[in-house]
Amino acid sequence: MREEENKSDPMKSTPHGKGRPPCMFSVDVEDWFQVENLKGQIDRSSWDDRQLRVEANTDRILQMLSDHQTKATFFVLGWIAKRCPALIQRIAAEGHEIASHGMNHHLLGERSQQDFQNDIVSSRALLEDLTGVAVIGYRAPSFSITDWAIPMLSKAGFLYDSSFFYNPYHSRYGTLTTQNKQGIIPLQERFHEIAIPSLSFMGRSIPWGGGGYFRLYPIGIFCAGVTRIMKAQGEFLFYMHPWEIDPGQPRINGIKKSYAFRHYYGLAKTEEKLKRLLETFRFVPIQTRLKTETQRQ
C-alpha cells in the first residue's frame, strides 16, 4: 500500500525536496496578541500584560526545521527582541537568517516617513547588537509596504524587502509600482523585492504564500500549488507566524467573524501540515537564494 501511495503521489517519493530547486522559508516572529485581526479588541497599551507564547512556539518551529535539516529567515519584531533576546540569539546561533519586522507592528500607512525611518534604523541596530550579524532583510507588518519606503530601506543598509503581496482581495496589504508581481524583483541598484507568491488560475491571482492560506487549503492541494508556482516562476517563498502552530492560545471575543476566521481557522492542524511541507520541498533562507540570484545578474 505504501509503494502504491508513493507511485500515485510524486511528491512523496522525493523526501526533503531532493533534486528540486530550493524554495524560501520565512517566519514572522510576533506573538498572538500583535496581529491586525485582533487589533479591535486588544489595545497596544495592554501588550505588556499579555501572556507571551512566542518563545515556546518559535522553539517548536526551530526543532521542526532542525529535524528536516532546513534553514529559514526569521523576520523579528523589535518588541519581541527586547523581551526575548535569548530567543533571537538562539535563532541566529542555529544558522538561520535574522531580518527585521520593524519595532512595534505599525502599518506603514499609519505613520509618518520620519517615524518609519526611526523604526527601521532602531530595529536593525537592535537585532545586529543581539546577534553580531548584519541584518539585510525587512518585512513590513501585514505586508503594508509602499513605494516611498523602498529608498529609505536601501539607504538604511537593507538589501531586500519581502512585503509585496499582490492580492487584489485584501485591502490591508500595500502595493509597489512594478510590472513584476512575483519572484525576486530588482527595484534599484543592489536592492530587491522578494514577493509573496500567488497562484495564477483561470485569470485570477490566488494567494498561495502561507499564513492563513496555508491553514485554509488542504496540504496536498497546497503542495501541488507550490510545485506549479515553482515550475512557472522558479521561485516560491513560504511565510508563517509562531502563533499559527498554537491552538491553545487565548481566544478573544468581540472581533468580526471574518477576522476570527482568519486568525483561528486550522490552528490545530498547522504543525502536521508544516511537517508535510518540509518533507516535500527543500527550503533555504531568503538571503541564500538572493545571493545566488544576484550572482547570476
Note whether residue 259 is domain-resident: yes
* Residue-number span of the structural domain to which 106 is assigned: 19-296
Is residue 10 in some structural domain? Answer: no
Q: Is residue 272 part of a domain?
A: yes
Give me the number of domains the chain comprises.
Answer: 1
> Whole-model pTM?
0.92
Rg (C-alpha) for the chain, rounded Å, is: 18
Residue 198 exposure: Cα atoms within 13 Å on the Cβ side = 18
pLDDT mean over 163-177: 79
Would you place residue 14 in the very low, low, confident or very high pLDDT band (cuts 50, 70, 90)?
Answer: very low
How many Å apart are CA 292 and CA 296, to the nearest integer?
Answer: 7
Query: Which pLDDT score is estimated for 16?
Result: 46
Q: At what angle do helices 85-93 and 54-67 cross, to 10 degrees?
A: 10
Confidence class for position 62, pLDDT limits 50, 70, 90: very high
Task: Identify whether the C-beta of residue 66 lies closer than 8 Å to the C-beta of residue 283.
Answer: no
**Chain segment 233-255, per-residue pLDDT in tens:** 999 999 999 999 999 999 999 99
Query: Does some domain include residue 11?
Result: no
Residue 3 in this model has a pLDDT that exceeds 60 = no
265 in a structural domain: yes
Q: Using 50, 70 and 90 to split pLDDT, how confident is the model at 112?
A: very high
Q: What is the pLDDT of residue 166?
A: 83
Asked whether residue 15 carries a pLDDT value surpassing 60, the answer given is no
In a domain, 7, yes or no: no
CATH code assigned at 162: 3.20.20.370
Is 286 a domain residue? yes
Is residue 9 domain-resident?
no
